Amino acid sequence: MDEQQVNVPLLQDCSATLQPHNQDIVARFWIESKKLWHIVGPSIFSRIISYSILIIAQAFAGHLNDLDLAAFSIAVTVVIGFDMGLLMGMASALETLCGQAYGAKKYYMLGIYMQRSWIVLFLCCVLLLPIFFFASPILKLIGEPHDLADLAGVLSIWMLPIHFSFAFYFPLQRFLQSQVKVWAIVWSAVAALVSHLVASWVLVVQLKMGVVGIAVACNVGWCAMPIVQIVYTTCGGCPLTWTGFSVEAFSGLWEFVKLSAASGVMLCLENWYYRILVVITGNMKNAEIMVDALSICMSINGWEMMIPLGFFVGTGVRVANELGAGNGEGAKFATIVSSATSLLLGLVFCCLIVIFHNSFGLIFSSSAVVLQEVDKLTILLALTILFNSIQPVLSGVAVGSGWQSYVAYINLGCYYIIGLPLGIFMQWFTDLGVKGIWIGMIFGGTGIQTLILLIITIRCDWEGEAKKAGLRVEKWRDEKLEAKE
């Protein structure tokens, strides 16, 4: 099998994927939409289910008391969020490598790249352990109230199993998505949700373990997902792309680390951006109430964000597959279809938030003061959802094309040199409070970043990107031949 995979022509069957330029545009849009939704639909579903684990946990905490809700929100948003953003970003290197390798029919390399990602992410998890053990003093150092920081630090240590599950789950997720085996991800998410609900009922309702029981139940849910996916992968679910554990996974690690680091910086700068908003809010007056209100808005935003993140995945896979097959025009059209569809859905959810502005907060809290503050933030939440309906799609194009290092610089400049200082400036020199920070971060950071990525995507030389992808595949072929010799 290995010899056959090495000798497959680079552009074999490429003509089958090419779309005729004179074909009816509606027909082309429909065909591409079906390909896209075959990835996006299950991806959205699985992401909503997995994210619901944290939403359900937060809802449990919110109905205990305000301190438990605020502490759990800080632990999840700041500590776990920081960790998740970095590891998820580093794993996204597989979307470029596995996606283009699969498009070029170099199936053997997908398993090798996943194993390399496991190695790199596990070592990264070990290096990140001090953040969990010293979460309380770190949170106090950045200005969080002592009672909030102490409880958040305890919860962070209890959630260490989630931390290590990320090292295996995110690479497995990218590995399966690249070959469009997305239903395996869906069923693993369903198993995780059921496990989490059972554990929550036992630990919180029956054993009365409180917020610590909620944290342990989250561990049960999140650890179930990589276990199910590993069983699926190694027990025959991926016969072409998984050929067993290999020592080749330890070769070429430095090149893999560099792309993983660029991917990690690119995506975690996005992921951390609005989480910093929660940290800053913790330093304001009535911090407990404001953190609760903002965390509810961020949870709703995160829940809806699973839809554009599904398009992020679908766009990355489709673009990478088409470029790997040498079809630059196909990658361009996939980008157009994904952007238009995601934007339309973003408009729908933006309207829903405005319509139900005074009721969606009831999911998380029954406190009248908290619900009043949530209502005041509704318009900003709606605008954030609208901006985030297009930005992840453009990031998906970057990942599928291998532009992570360039986009990392763009994110750094837009988010942390423009957006965050502008938000802090508006907090200091206006009476808007948390709304001022949020406004500055939306228009100064997310808005400018989206505009720059849009310009880059519009001006992209797609055929040139297809040639670059071909050169990467040729390099993989040479590496494989040298290894066999």
Tokens of 316: 């990355």
Give the pLDDT confidence of 335-369 residue by residue, as tens digits: 999 999 999 999 999 998 888 877 777 777 777 88
For the stretch 441-475, pLDDT in tens is 888 888 898 899 899 999 988 888 888 877 765 66
User: Please, are residues 113 and 101 in contact by the beta-carbon 8 Å criterion?
Assistant: yes
> What are the tokens at 275?
């989480």
pTM of the model: 0.75
Residue 137 scores a pLDDT above 90: yes
* DSSP character at residue 430: S
441 touches 423 (CB < 8 A): yes
**Arithmetic mean of pLDDT, 398-421:** 83
Q: State how far the Cα of 320 lies from the Cα of 98, in Å rounded to an integer.
A: 8
**C-alpha span between 28 and 59 (Å, rounded):** 43
pLDDT tops 80 at residue 185: yes
Q: How confident is the model at residue 15 (pLDDT cuts 50, 70, 90)?
A: very low
Confidence of residue 478 (pLDDT cuts 50, 70, 90): low
Band (pLDDT 50/70/90 cuts) for residue 8 is: very low
Average pLDDT of the chain, as a whole number: 82
pLDDT of residue 69: 81
Q: With 80 as the cut, is the pLDDT of residue 20 above it?
A: no
pLDDT digits (tens, 9 = 90+) for 193-231: 999 999 999 998 899 898 899 999 999 999 999 999 999
List the chain domain ranges: 24-484
* pLDDT tens for each residue of 311-324: 988 898 888 888 88
* Radius of gyration of the chain from its Cα atoms, rounded to whole angstroms: 22
pLDDT digits (tens, 9 = 90+) for 237-291: 999 999 888 888 887 788 778 877 877 777 777 767 766 776 777 666 666 677 7
